[in-house]
Each structure stands twice: as structure tokens, then as C-alpha cells.
Amino acid sequence: MDSLIMVLSSLGIAQAVFLCVYLLSLKKGNRKANLFLAFVLLGLTIRIGKSILNVYLDLEPWQRNLGISGVMMAGPFLWFYGRLLLGKEKIFSKHNYWHLLPFVLFVCFCFYIPNGYGAFPNTSYLLAFSHLAIYLIMSGALLFNYKSKASKSVWHWYLIMVMGVVFIWIFYMGNLFGLIPYYIGGAIFFSFLLYAFSFLLLKRPVFAMEKYRNSSIDVSSSKKYMQEIQALFEKETIYLDSELNMSKVAQKLGIRSRDVSQVINENEQQNFSEFVNQYRIAKAKDLLIDTSYAQEKIATVAYDCGFGNVTSFNLAFKAATQLTPSQYRNKFYQG
């Protein structure tokens, strides 16, 4: 059992190191924001790594202090990351780095800060996590201030990041006050958290969204254009055009193709093809159970919904419904 716990708790450390290296080497998107996110993960890794080592090894007080210092690194960098991600600060002032002074001092005096049992060691531990709590509050304030200004997908990504760190903070504070007795559980939770972060980094268009950081379209304009795009699709049914592309939509709105891509990404978290296909598939569902189309071939339905060929129709329909068009017709047709 102990071996299994050690493996589970160590998986998060390995994944965190992988993510740090990935973010530090990533060339796309906002490189400084990626750097800050890497340091958030590094700070948490240092803290969680200390938890694992402290269970299986007899660490010196200064080594335990270095582990605790990780949370004092993670807090400021989480706040820095939010300012760049949500606020899109083009110039990040060097004065902000003064926020790292408590972390630097804690590391420099790690040999002198007591770490064992008694009031003062607990006080230093509490102060370190109080420091993190301050930056969690500041990060929460960023989320509140930019909820209507930042893109929806990026805002939700940062919310997930902040909430993940909040849960880690709650666990260790609960353990300190005896509410959560299983100390190594924090490392196991961290493992699951890191794999969830990894999945979301691959799934969510966080880095794709950052390519629009220099766009002239703000959030309110983006929402306005999204309403116009939806009107084109719902009222004018332009998705029925098998040769529809971003250029045609952009021409109708009087904006660039790149802006169309941005608007759909920000508001629907989809690319252009996915957005178009959802309308075509909804239309296909109606036609497949329409009595007037009962004798029509699947190919006719595909072309009448705007698909250029039957193969792409079948693939898109199956991906959306887990049924082929024929299976859907057989299951739901009431004629």
C-alpha cells in the first residue's frame, strides 16, 4: 500500500516537471505568460515534493523550509499570470517583481527559521500560507474585474487554475489545524490536479486565444459580431452554401477573416468548421425524420444541408450523434 501511495503521489511531480519544461520551451502564445505559469507549477511542485520527501525521509529543518517556500513563489506568479492573461498587459513592469521579495527572504533565511514543533514553527508555516492566501484573493479580484472584459475561454481557464491552487491551500490548512489528517493526501490530490491541468491545456484553446492578444476587437465588439454571425446562420441560413468559408462571412460583416475566427473562438470555443457543422447537422437531423424526405437518399440530405460530399457528412454526423445518418433515421423516424 505504501508503494502505491508513493507512486501516486510522485506522478504529479513528474507531470509537473514535464509541464514546466513544456511551458518554458513553448514558442507560441505569450511567452512571458507561459513562463509565469511554469513558475506557478514549479512553486507548487517544490511544496508538494517536500510533502513526499518528508514522509519517507528525515529532512533537515532548512530543507523543510525550502519546501514551504514554494507556496511563496506560486502565489505571486499566479497573480502575474492572471494580469498578463486577462489584462493583456503588453509591458510587464519590473517593479512587480518586488512581490517576490518575501519568497527570496524566506529562502535566504531558511537555515535560521525554526521548523519542527512548537508555536513559532507553526507560525512561520501559517505566515507562508497566509502569503499565498493574499495572492489567491488578488487573483480572485482579477477574475472579478475581467469577467466581462476577457475572453470567455481564457477567463474560465484562469478560474480553473486559481481554484486548483485554492484546493491545495485548503488541504494544507486543514491538515495544519487537524481537520484533514492524511498528510500525504495533498500530494495524491496534486497528482490528479496536474493531470487534469494537462488535459485541459491540450483540450482548451488557451494558447490559441493568445494569438489574438494584439487584436483591435475588444470583448464587447466580439459579442456584437457573434450576434451578427448567428443571425447570418439562423436567419439567412448561409451554412447551406457548400462553399461557405470565413472569407464569405467576413465580407458580409465587413471585417477580416482572422476576426471571424477570433469571434467564434472567443464566444463559442469552436473553430469555424465546427461552428458551421453544428448548424448543418441540426438541419440534417430535421430532414432525416421529415416525411417529405423519407424516400430521399442520405446523399441528398448531405447536399441539402450544405455538405460538399457524403463522406464528410457521415463523419461529422457520427462524431456529433454517435450514430450514422441511416441509424439516426431508423431510430427516430416516425412516418
Task: Report pLDDT digits (tens) over 143-163.
Answer: 999 887 777 778 888 998 899
Indicate the pLDDT class of residue 205, thresholds 50, 70 and 90.
Answer: very low
Cell digits for 279? 448548424
Indicate the pLDDT class of residue 88, thresholds 50, 70 and 90.
Answer: low
Predicted confidence at residue 334, as pLDDT, reads 74
Residue 96, pLDDT > 80, answer yes
**DSSP assignment letter at 147:** T
Q: Taking CA 138 as the corner, what is the angle to CA 135 and CA 140, rounded to the nearest 5 degrees?
A: 110
Positive/negative CA dihedral, 151, 154, 160, 166: negative
**Are 112 and 60 within 8 A, CB to CB?**
no
* CATH superfamily assigned to domain 219-332: Homeodomain-like (1.10.10.60)
More confident residue, 56 or 265: 265
Percent above pLDDT 70 for the chain: 84
Q: How far is CA 290 from the centre of its chain?
A: 41
Domain boundaries, the chain: 2-210, 219-332
- Which are the contacts of 100, defined by CB distance < 8 A and separation ≥ 6? 73, 76
Cell digits for 63? 530543507
Q: Of the candidates 145, 141, 23, 129, which has an alpha carbon nearest to the alpha carbon of residue 75?
A: 129
Task: Kindly report the length of the chain.
Answer: 335
Q: Is the domain 2-210 a CATH 1.10.40.30 member?
A: no
Indicate the pLDDT class of residue 196, thresholds 50, 70 and 90.
Answer: confident
Q: How far is CA 169 from the centre of its chain?
A: 19
